[in-house]
A and B are shown apart, each in its own frame.
Chain A
Amino acid sequence: MSEKDNGYLVGSNLEKVLREGHFAVTGELGPPQSADPAIIREKAAFLKGYVDAVNITDNQTAIVRMSSIGAGLLALKEGLEPVIQMTCRDRNRLAIQSDLLGASALGLKNLLCLTGDHQIFGNHPTSKNVYDMDSLQLVHMVTEMRDKGIFQCGDEIKGQTASFLVGAAAAPFADPTAFRPLRLAKKIRAGANFIQTQLVYDVKEFAIYMEKVRELGVHKEAYILAGVGPLKSPGMAKYMKKNVPGILVPDEVIDRMTQAGKEWIGKKAADLAPEEKKARSKAWKTEGIQVCIDLIKDIKKIEGVAGVHIMAIEWEEAVKPIVEGAGLYPRPEVK
């Protein structure tokens, strides 16, 4: 692996924080389903100072949104360091490489490579998908662009190449679970510098997964950030447990969320006055943030975990209390 100035691959804030051994914090910012830059600025304001870098999703859940690169540049101008996301669903290898040359030229330095949610879940379910490559091949391609200065076809990139700190995702609890640590190792072998996992609510199971990862030794070759996210309600916890593949939500977590709204247990939303509903939601959300803080504290103790990736979906305000509550504020300043 060729290392550039000061021994850094790209010298992004995220890379420096990780390299210096700080427990990293990344966040997530979902671009709007519009061309409105003000929404990016509003969301960025909640995250600035509380995360080392922020993932800018790429048509998440297959719903058309402002591009990750466009929104990423807006976030960069707001003083946040973006992690661009790139899925294999919407672009072939030409489009991916071309967009990444553009992203790199615009000063974007971190990239998360994803397969991408199937379009059937989004708002254009009749569209054609691409999947010219898979996420692992994407990781390998962008690593070679950076380190060897070549395009996927083998042609030399004449002049400045696209250089990113390359990330990949991991789903520790998806099936077949026995293969998951091996797949993580495979992604790291393909070139991933950092990993962000699917949401972790079951720390015990995650610790078992990490143990297998450590046996493979790959936690020393890439930085593994555990995915966490605040729950908004017991309903959300139950929904995820039941419907989202690869997410384990233990009963203790569901119980904590349920107990937080015990005053209103057995009451239907329709029977509650608006102010009661508000109070219940507030109680749930407060507990959701606390659960997230407790998860981070437990996860931080697991050997081989280099940080957390906080996914506060459409709830960017939650990041500040989570980061503060977990004792991760202020964020380190690196040079």
Chain B
Amino acid sequence: MITAEQKPLAEIQGLLGDAKKVLVVGCGTCVTVCFAGGDREAQIMAASLRMASKINGHPQEITDITVQRQCEWEYLDEIEKEIADADIVLSLGCGIGVQAIAEHFPDTWVVPGLNTTFLGMPTEQGVWEERCAACGDCILGLTGGICPIARCSKSLLNGPCGGSEDGHCEIDPEVPCAWQLIYDRLESKGKLDLLLEIQPPKDWSKSRDGGPRKIVRQDLRLIEDEA
């Protein structure tokens, strides 16, 4: 899932400025699961901003609403009226949600309340870790299901650099060395031969480096391209 964390309140206040009517919009999908921008967080955010605006002596009218997914037009349609009523929208969705609101409601000024962080998962209660870099050309079949693109600090493809020590990466003792994990896993599966193959330079054009990406599935489209 997409994981995110809230921006500091002071930064959010700065983004909101002196707008009178603020609508906080939560999202019921990824950011709910990572406790950053769901219904509960939207309510708490609205209450915090309300309180802060009173303390500042410039009380703002702050309401909140949460949709199932900010990244789909049909769910955004449901809050058209609330959006139109607001002077400014604070999206607690990921970066996709913020952009979907901006695109769907061109008259509205929308600002982000979250920093979208990575594609990952909770590894324990309260801990999330990056797992995928959405590089567009998955190599997990070669690396025992552990991604060196997302999890090696240098995205190496041919094994560990000299900075692997006691299972962690030299950049931070809290960061596991992806290549140690890969090595251990391949060794335990008797597949170390996979590590000995020279992996050629990666085709990064399928990643962000190839420009913004788009998937078109003709089998699913309702409007067909003209021949």
Contact = CB atoms under 8 A, between A and B. Distances in A.
Interface of A: 88-89, 93, 115-118, 120-121, 129, 131-137, 140-141, 152, 169, 171, 174-176, 178-179, 182-183, 185-186, 189-190, 198, 245-246
Given A115-B156, A134-B156, A141 B201 contact: yes
A169 B162 contact: yes
Contacts of A190: 198
Nearest to B166: A175
A174 B160 contact: yes
Q: Name the residue in A131, A171, A189 with the highest tally of chain B Cβ atoms < 10 Å from its Cβ.
A: A131
Nearest to A169: B162
The B interface, classified by DSSP as helix, strand, loop or mixed, is loop
B194 to A, nearest CB: 12
Contacts of A115: 154, 156, 161-162
Interface in B122-177: 153-167, 170-171, 177
A173 to B, nearest CB: 9
Contacts, number: 95
Given A134-B156, A134-B158, A186-B159, A176 B183 contact: yes
8 contacts: A118-B153, A134-B154, A136-B158, A137-B158, A175-B160, A176-B184, A178-B187, A246-B165
B154 A131 contact: yes
Contact of A137 (B161, B164, B199, B204): B199
B196 A174 contact: no
A152 B159 CA distance: 21
A134 B177 CA distance: 16
A89 B154 CA distance: 8
B158 A186 contact: yes
A138 to B, nearest CB: 9
B159 A183 contact: yes
Given A134-B154, A137-B158, A141-B201, A245 B170 contact: yes
Given A131-B154, A134-B157, 17 more contacts: A89-B154, A115-B156, A115-B162, A131-B155, A131-B156, A134-B154, A136-B159, A141-B201, A171-B161, A174-B164, A175-B166, A175-B180, A176-B184, A178-B187, A182-B195, A183-B158, A183-B160
B184 A137 contact: no
B67 to A, nearest CB: 34
B196 A133 contact: no
Q: Name the residue in A131, A133, A136, A176 with the highest tally of chain B Cβ atoms < 10 Å from its Cβ.
A: A176
